Amino acid sequence: MAAMRKALPRRLVGLASLRAVSTSSMGTLPKRVKIVEVGPRDGLQNEKNIVSTPVKIKLIDMLSEAGLSVIETTSFVSPKWVPQMGDHTEVLKGIQKFPGINYPVLTPNLKGFEAAVAAGAKEVVIFGAASELFTKKNINCSIEESFQRFDAILKAAQSANISVRGYVSCALGCPYEGKISPAKVAEVTKKFYSMGCYEISLGDTIGVGTPGIMKDMLSAVMQEVPLAALAVHCHDTYGQALANTLMALQMGVSVVDSSVAGLGGCPYAQGASGNLATEDLVYMLEGLGIHTYHSCLSMLMFSLVLRAYHDLPHPLTCFSKGVNLQKLLEAGNFICQALNRKTSSKVAQATCKL
Amino acid sequence: MAAMRKALPRRLVSTSSMGTLPKRVKIVEVGPRDGLQNEKNIVSTPVKIKLIDMLSEAGLSVIETTSFVSPKWVPQMGDHTEVLKGIQKFPGINYPVLTPNLKGFEAAVAAGAKEVVIFGAASELFTKKNINCSIEESFQRFDAILKAAQSANISVRGYVSCALGCPYEGKISPAKVAEVTKKFYSMGCYEISLGDTIGVGTPGIMKDMLSAVMQEVPLAALAVHCHDTYGQALANTLMALQMGVSVVDSSVAGLGGCPYAQGASGNLATEDLVYMLEGLGIHTGVNLQKLLEAGNFICQALNRKTSSKVAQATCKL
At B8-19, the pLDDT tens digits run: 565 666 655 445
If you average pLDDT over residues B30-37, what whole number do you get? 95
Q: Tell me the pLDDT of chain B averaged across its residues.
A: 92
If you average pLDDT over residues B68-90, what whole number do you get? 94
Query: CA-to-CA distance for A171 and B232, rounded, in angstroms?
Result: 23
If you average pLDDT over residues A341-353, what whole number do you get? 87
Examine the pLDDT at A354 and tell me if it is beyond 60.
no
Helices (H) and strands (E) in chain A, counts: 15, 9
pLDDT of residue A138: 86
pLDDT of residue B41: 86
Phi, psi of B159 (to 5 degrees): -110, 135
If you average pLDDT over residues A90-117, what whole number do you get? 97
CB-based contact B231 A12, cutoff 8 Å: no
Q: Look at strands A255-258 and A34-37 and give their pairing.
A: parallel
Q: Determine contact: B96 vs chain A, CB below 8 A.
A: no
Residue A197: band (very low, low, confident or very high) from pLDDT cuts 50, 70, 90: very high
Residues 6+ apart with CB under 8 A from A165: A104, A123, A124, A125, A126, A197, A198, A199, A200, A201
Q: Which residue has the higher pLDDT, A89 or A6?
A: A89
Query: CA-to-CA distance for A87 and A40, rounded, in angstroms?
Result: 12
Which residue of A219, A284, A351 to mutate against B (max B Cβ within 10 Å)? A284
Beta strand ranges found along A64-106 (DSSP E): 70-71, 74-75, 105-106
Task: Tell me which of B166, B226, B258, B299 is the catalytic residue.
Answer: B258
pLDDT of residue A28: 75
B126: closest chain A residue by CA: A12
Residue A157: band (very low, low, confident or very high) from pLDDT cuts 50, 70, 90: very high
If you average pLDDT over residues B213-242, what whole number do you get? 97
| Preceding omega of A79 cis (within 30 degrees of 0) | no
CB atoms within 10 A of CB A125: 28
If you average pLDDT over residues B65-70, what whole number do you get? 95
If you average pLDDT over residues A38-65, what whole number do you get? 95
Q: Determine contact: A269 vs chain B, CB below 8 A.
A: yes
Residue A321: band (very low, low, confident or very high) from pLDDT cuts 50, 70, 90: low
Contact A266, B9 (CB under 8 A): no
Residue type, position B80, single letter? H
Contact A17, A236 (CB under 8 A): no
Question: Residues A9-45, buried b or exposed e (16+ Cβ, 10 A)?
Answer: bbbbbebeebbbebebebeebbeebbbbbbbbbbbbb
In whole angstroms, what separates CA A66 from the centre of its chain? 15
Phi, psi of B160 (to 5 degrees): -115, 105
Residue A196: band (very low, low, confident or very high) from pLDDT cuts 50, 70, 90: very high
Question: Residues B157-169, buried b or exposed e (16+ Cβ, 10 A)?
Answer: bbbbbbbbbbbbb
Tell me the β-bridge partners of B158.
B118, B192
CA atoms within 13 A on the CB side of B313: 26
DSSP H helical ranges for B123-282 = 124-131, 135-152, 174-187, 203-213, 233-242, 270-279
Instruction: Out of B203, B237, B264, name the one closest to residue A350 (CB).
Output: B264
If you average pLDDT over residues B9-34, what whole number do you get? 80
Q: Determine contact: A237 vs chain B, CB below 8 A.
A: yes
In whole angstroms, what separates CA B130 from the centre of its chain? 18
Q: Which residue has the higher pLDDT, B256 or B182?
A: B182
Beta strand ranges found along chain A (DSSP E): 34-37, 70-71, 74-75, 105-106, 123-129, 163-169, 199-204, 230-234, 255-258
SS3 content of chain A, % helix, strand, coil (to 5): 45, 15, 40
CB-based contact A287 B203, cutoff 8 Å: yes
Q: Determine contact: B280 vs chain A, CB below 8 A.
A: yes
pTM for the whole structure: 0.91
pLDDT of residue B40: 83
pLDDT of residue A271: 64
User: In sequence order, what DSSP letters do the residues of A180-230 get, joined into one string?
Assistant: --HHHHHHHHHHHHHHT-SEEEEEETTS---HHHHHHHHHHHHTTS-GGGE
Residue A49: band (very low, low, confident or very high) from pLDDT cuts 50, 70, 90: confident
pLDDT of residue B314: 82
DSSP H helical ranges for B65-165 = 80-86, 102-110, 124-131, 135-152
Query: CA-to-CA distance for A324 and A68, rounded, in angstroms?
Result: 8
pLDDT of residue B17: 45
pLDDT of residue A10: 35
Question: Residues A108-122, buried b or exposed e (16+ Cβ, 10 A)?
Answer: bbeebbebbbebebe
Instruction: Out of B12, B199, B237, name the one closest to residue A213 (CB).
Output: B12
**CB < 8 Å to A345, chain B:** 231
Residue A260: band (very low, low, confident or very high) from pLDDT cuts 50, 70, 90: very high
Residues 6+ apart with CB under 8 A from B52: B32, B63, B65, B83, B87, B95
Examine the pLDDT at B254 and tell me if it is beyond 90.
yes
pLDDT of residue A7: 36
Q: Determine contact: A25 vs chain B, CB below 8 A.
A: no
Task: Tell me which of A174, A266, A318, A352 is the catalytic residue.
Answer: A266
- B268-307 confidence digits (pLDDT tens): 999 999 999 999 999 999 999 999 999 999 999 999 999 9
Q: Determine contact: A329 vs chain B, CB below 8 A.
A: no
pLDDT of residue B256: 86
In the residue annotation, A296 being an active-site residue is answered as no
CB-based contact A272 B313, cutoff 8 Å: yes
Residue B163: band (very low, low, confident or very high) from pLDDT cuts 50, 70, 90: very high
CB atoms within 10 A of CB A342: 15
Residue A18: band (very low, low, confident or very high) from pLDDT cuts 50, 70, 90: low
**CB < 8 Å to B224, chain A:** none
pLDDT of residue A220: 98
Percent over 90 (pLDDT), chain A: 75
Q: Determine contact: B260 vs chain A, CB below 8 A.
A: yes
If you average pLDDT over residues B75-85, what whole number do you get? 95
Instruction: Out of A209, A272, A347, name the one closest to residue B230 (CB).
Output: A347
pLDDT of residue A86: 93
Question: From its phi and psi, is residue A102 left (phi > 0), alpha (psi between -120 and 50) or beta?
Answer: beta
Phi, psi of B271 (to 5 degrees): -60, -45
Examine the pLDDT at A195 and tell me if it is beyond 50.
yes
In whole angstroms, what separates CA A221 from the centre of its chain? 20
